[in-house]
Amino acid sequence: MSLITRYIFDQFTAEKITFYSKHGDNAGDDLSKAIFKDQIIFKTTTANGFLHFARPADGSYDPLCFDIKKRKTNGEYPIVRLDHESILQFEHIKILETVYPSLMSRMQKNYF
């Protein structure tokens, strides 16, 4: 989560995740704009304890989110893929998969 809150970066893809850029410039792929584009997804995810920060690298419209209801003792959150159709049609959260137990676990997978 500190990657999202502390750093500035361009959009990039790491394995299964395409991270929105973070410049605060309101560009289409910037986190400050991208997560608000679809208000139904934004309202449904935030109301249910999910923080949308990326999209799947496969091009799907499914939001990738931190599940902030399941904070780990180290302050990290699971990264989950939500079914966009369930959100858009029924305003219902359906977790399709846990992509990674946390962002740190994903980073350690390749670097440690």
Per-residue confidence at 104, pLDDT binned at 50, 70, 90?
confident
Per-residue confidence at 97, pLDDT binned at 50, 70, 90?
very high
Per-residue pLDDT at 7 exceeds 60: yes
Nearest of 98, 86, 108 to residue 16 by alpha carbon: 98
Phi, psi (degrees; rounded to nearest 5) at 52:
-75, 125
pTM (two decimals):
0.88
The single-letter DSSP state of residue 34 is H
- The domain tally of the chain equals 1
The answer to whether the beta carbons of residues 32 and 26 sit under 8 Å apart is yes
Phi, psi (degrees; rounded to nearest 5) at 65:
-135, 155
**Cα–Cα distance, 77 to 92 (Å, whole number):** 21
Could you tell me the residue range of the domain that residue 41 belongs to? 2-111
pLDDT digits (tens, 9 = 90+) for 71-85: 988 889 999 999 999
